[in-house]
Amino acid sequence: MLNQSTILITGGTGSFGHTFVPMTLARYNPRKLIVYSRDEMKQWEMAKLFRGDERVRFFIGDVRDRERMYRALDGVDYVVHAAATKIVPTAEYNPFECVKTNVNGAMNVIDACIDRRVKGVVALSTDKASSPVNLYGATKLASDKLFVAGNSYAGVDGCKFSVVRYGNVMGSRGSVIPFFLTQKGKGSLPVTDARMTRFMISLEQGVELVWHAFEDMEGGEIYVKKIPSMKVTDIALAVDPEAQHEIVGIRPGEKLHEQMISPEDAYYTYEYPEHFKILPAIHSWHEDFKRIKDGRRVPAGFTYASDNNTEWMDVSALQAWIAQHQDKIGRI
């Protein structure tokens, strides 16, 4: 599907884009891959990594700017929507700005993709969109709903919109692993709550989920990758086995456990070997066999959360991952 196509990724200079672009170039050999973002310095630095590869193009723009989106999407076949304001405290203190990017920006992407006759769009979501307790999560829930409903506006033969949802990306900027590494050897590590758990996923797994969504989607699906969980105390133990744990309390807007499928979503959710799909409640799309395929409906009241997970990552596995990715941690 993506072979010899033109692909655009919004927010493409971020962590996800830095993994998606080289992996997609190698796997699918697209005719053109356009990195759309608003930070010229990040584009300048990223362009150095792909110097000489004429398939990679860079386009300055903001998803808030509807006219610029229309211009950028000329001739584009597929879009990955990765642009977002996503740091929880930043969103709490700058709520209007978060809404402008995550909600208004989503509407701009949807409208432009429909009008420009883009074939398919996959939008990146987050565990925080499931039963949200902070503004970032609430805006991403709104964004998810917008992309699902976008299929109604596009029509039967128009652009298809779907969403992928995953949790904590291991080693990403601002996340707990690089933070703990900066505190290693100081004798203690600040832990928010000894009961806290988190999902663990690599960016490579996130990219593969996006690829799967493009291949599988009929429109309106929310894809949830099956990934392991880990206790925050075990993450700290993996980074510095000798450190004491200083309990500092949960930050405003932070959850004790991550959730990706709520009990309310269970009625519309189907299970597959490596992922779940939350199907749209609207238009009875959750009963559509083309969307269900070979899925098995989950039990009533089912939840997929980091504390009730059946798969767990142990300390030695995380230590092996850290050793293998030492040069990238905190920069992805």
Give the tokens for residue 193.
């709550």
In whole angstroms, what is the distance from residue 229 CA to residue 71 CA? Answer: 42
| pLDDT at residue 158, as a whole number | 93
Work out the number of other CB atoms within 10 angstroms of the CB of residue 201.
20
128 is catalytic: yes
Largest CA distance in the chain: 60
Instruction: Collect all residues with Cβ–Cβ distance below 8 Å to 155 and sequence separation of at least 6.
Output: none
User: How many C-beta atoms lie closer than 10 Å to residue 191's C-beta?
Assistant: 21
**Beta-ladder partners of 124:** 164
Strand partners, 169: 201
pLDDT at site 140: 98
- Rounded CA separation 287/289 (Å): 6
Neighbours of 193 (CB within 10 A): 15
Distance CA 230, CA 195 (A): 11
- The C-alpha atoms of residue 189 and residue 184 are separated, in whole angstroms, by 8
User: Within 13 Å and on the Cβ side, how many CA atoms surround 141?
Assistant: 17
User: Looking at 48, 86, 119, 128, which residue is catalytic?
Assistant: 128
Superfamily grouping for domain 6-166+203-226+260-304: NAD(P)-binding Rossmann-like Domain (3.40.50.720)
Domain range list for the chain: 6-166+203-226+260-304
- pLDDT tens string, the chain, 332 residues long: the values are 899 999 999 999 998 999 999 999 999 999 999 999 999 999 999 999 999 999 999 999 999 999 999 999 999 999 999 999 988 889 999 999 999 999 999 999 999 999 999 999 999 999 999 999 999 999 999 999 999 999 999 988 899 999 999 887 898 877 899 999 999 999 999 999 999 999 999 999 999 999 999 999 999 999 999 999 999 999 999 999 999 999 999 887 789 999 999 999 999 999 999 999 999 999 999 999 999 999 999 999 999 999 999 999 999 999 999 999 888 887 66
C-alpha dist (Å) from residue 283 to 154, 203, 219, 286: 14, 33, 12, 8
- What is d(CA 302, CA 298) in angstroms, rounded to the nearest whole number? 6
Q: Is 92 left (phi over 0), alpha (psi -120 to 50) or beta?
A: alpha
Output the CA–CA distances (angstroms, integers) from residue 278 to 46, 122, 213, 259, 328, in the order listed: 34, 14, 12, 13, 32
Q: What is the model's pLDDT at position 253? A: 79
- In the block, tokens 């199907």 appear at 279
Q: Which pLDDT does position 332 carry in this prediction?
A: 66
